[in-house]
Structure 1
Amino acid sequence: MLRRVALVTGSARRVGAAIARSFAERGYHLVLHHGNSPDDAATLARELEQAHGVRVLVVQEDLQDSSAPARIVQAAVAAFDALDVVVSSASVMEFRDFESVTPDEWARTEAINLRAPFFLMQAAARALNDGGCIIQMADHLADETGFPQLIPHQVTKAAVHQLVRTVAEHLAPRIRVNAIAPGLVLAPEDMTEAAREKFLRDVPLARTGTPLDVVGAVHYLVDAPYITGTLLRVDGGRHLRR
């Protein structure tokens, strides 16, 4: 049986790792990209190869380097001679007051959250098999106010949605492009219980999400051949109250 190939950026830890694991469970060969988590990536690769009999290529690239996305795709094609799904999960979210954001911090956020996803799509479009699928990670915060400490993150994630709309039309009908906007899936480690409860007051489903909620959305879009250019919100309905 010819196995399909998935590439997941930022996949050594947290939600990215859950997404990668889900592809291995479905029999995909994998390209696991990480920026600076070599031990986590190596451990996950061994786990998936042993548990599911798939091949896993680990690629370390700093997405602040403008040529990194192309190298990631080149490595995938060199290893597997095929590419079916690309999930752009790598992201950065730095908390800074409006007054203290520096040009370097802005540039880092823009490079990882917006520039890298664009050039990953550009490179992937040349390599993806017909019927291929690209999924970008947006963020529910892109549509909200009241978070002045996250302006670079919000702005770049809002731009991802427009990027997906434009590129989806350009790459159709051969390749589908969609985005997922997760809500609070994995709370920041320093989030207090009071802050969590305050956040949940605006979530109709009255709970935080889990990585599996995002995983389910990913595979829904992978398996939905008549959906492109869509932003799928996985936020427990929070957008209804914002």
Structure 2
Amino acid sequence: MQLRGRAALVTGAARRVGRAIALRLAAAGCDVAVHYATSRAGAERTADECAALGVRAVAVRADLAEAEACAALARDVLARFGRLDVLVNNASIFEPMTLEELDVARWERTLRVNLTAPLLLAHAAAGALRAARGRVVNLCDVAVERPWAGHLGYIVSKGALDTLTRALAVAFAPEVNVCGVAPGVAAWPDHYDDEKRRGLTNRIPLRRAGTPEEVAAAVHFLLESGDYITGAILPVDGGRRLV
């Protein structure tokens, strides 16, 4: 699928990986809706940078923990662009949560943002995506293969997102391809200190962290070159899942 002249919604695109994805799609000629929840200034900067590449770009706000907000977000993007060809579900909540410190409200909000929102957005955009013979890419995580006990809500939601990706690939076939990209370390969490970063890097076979731009390149590949790929989850982890 050629991206030039298409329209995409990228959730959580104000910074980090989402920002890199939005800029990569804009550079390929795709109009971009830059979703944010609280980072308005960052989203507006990302949208401005996308627009400087010669495409239409807007910053759009929605609380993805709310079902109606997901439906309204899809309607808003369709109203602005008149089409929606690409949905990239990147937004997520990444917070520490152990069994001993389980907080039901935080657990439920994490699952709503990380798992339910991608489903609701795909549902709300289904007509437009089918008409465009479009693409859905979900941002997963290779960590689900070796779950972290310290981030229960996040890891469970991402494991379920793997399954949702495959289920949507079947549900949308043959009109829409649905895939996942599963980064390893691509953008360090703000609360990771240098020692923790070095320790994690030393466990990666390629001995370095990835970059948001490398994740964005994988998303771009699936969108433009993945005509015969659906239901697949592409790891971008420097081999971290292997050890």
For the aligned pair, the TM-score class normalised by the smaller chain equals: over 0.9
Contact 1:6 1:31 in 2 (8 A): yes
| 5+ residue gaps, structure 1 | none
Task: Choose 122-131 or 219-228, whichever is displaced more.
Answer: 122-131
- Displaced runs of 4+ in structure 1, greater than 2 A? none
Query: Following superposition of structure 1 onto structure 2, how do residues 196-215 of structure 1 map, counting pairs within 5 Å?
Result: 196-215=197-216
Q: CA deviation at 1:131?
A: 2.2
Task: Choose 216-225 or 128-137, whichever is displaced more.
Answer: 128-137
Structure 1 partner of 2:57: 56
Contact 1:73 1:127 in 2 (8 A): no
| 5+ residue gaps, structure 2 | none
Structure 1 partner of 2:133: 131
- TM-score with structure 2 setting the length: 0.94
Structure 1 partner of 2:168: 167
Query: Following superposition of structure 1 onto structure 2, how do residues 226-241 of structure 1 map, counting pairs within 5 Å?
Result: 226-241=228-243
Structure 1 partner of 2:94: 93
Give the counterpart letter for 1:76 in structure 2. V
Q: Hey, what's the Cα distance between the residues in 2 that align with 1:60 and 1:66?
A: 14
Structure 2 partner of 1:33: 35
- TM-score with structure 1 setting the length: 0.94
Count of aligned pairs between the two proteins? 238
Query: Following superposition of structure 1 onto structure 2, how do residues 147-158 of structure 1 map, counting pairs within 5 Å?
Result: 147-158=148-159
Seq. identity, %: 38
Contact 2:162 2:233 in 1 (8 A): yes
Q: Hey, what's the Cα distance between the residues in 2 that align with 1:44 and 1:165?
A: 30
Q: CA deviation at 1:189?
A: 2.3
* Higher RCO (CA 8 Å, separation ≥ 6 residues): 2
Q: CA deviation at 1:26?
A: 1.1
Q: Alpha carbons of 1:55 and 1:130: their partners in 2 closer, same or farther (altered >3 Å)?
A: closer
Q: CA deviation at 1:23?
A: 1.0
Q: CA deviation at 1:198?
A: 2.1
Cα deviation code 1:75-101 (max 9, x no counterpart): 111111111111001000111232112
Contact 2:143 2:241 in 1 (8 A): no
Q: Hey, what's the Cα distance between the residues in 2 that align with 1:213 and 1:126?
A: 31
Structure 1 partner of 2:12: 10
Q: CA deviation at 1:46?
A: 2.1
Cα deviation code 1:129-187 (max 9, x no counterpart): 33200000111111113x21101100000000100111101111100000111001111
1:176 matches 2:177: yes
Q: Hey, what's the Cα distance between the residues in 2 that align with 1:96 and 1:164?
A: 24
Structure 2 partner of 1:76: 77
Give the counterpart letter for 1:31 in structure 2. A
Q: Alpha carbons of 1:76 and 1:184: their partners in 2 closer, same or farther (altered >3 Å)?
A: same
Contact 1:137 1:179 in 2 (8 A): yes
Contact 2:111 2:153 in 1 (8 A): yes
Task: Choose 194-203 or 169-178, whichever is displaced more.
Answer: 194-203
Query: Following superposition of structure 1 onto structure 2, how do residues 36-47 of structure 1 map, counting pairs within 5 Å?
Result: 36-47=38-49
Give the counterpart letter for 2:50 in structure 1. L
Q: Hey, what's the Cα distance between the residues in 2 that align with 1:188 and 1:5?
A: 30
Contact 2:205 2:240 in 1 (8 A): yes
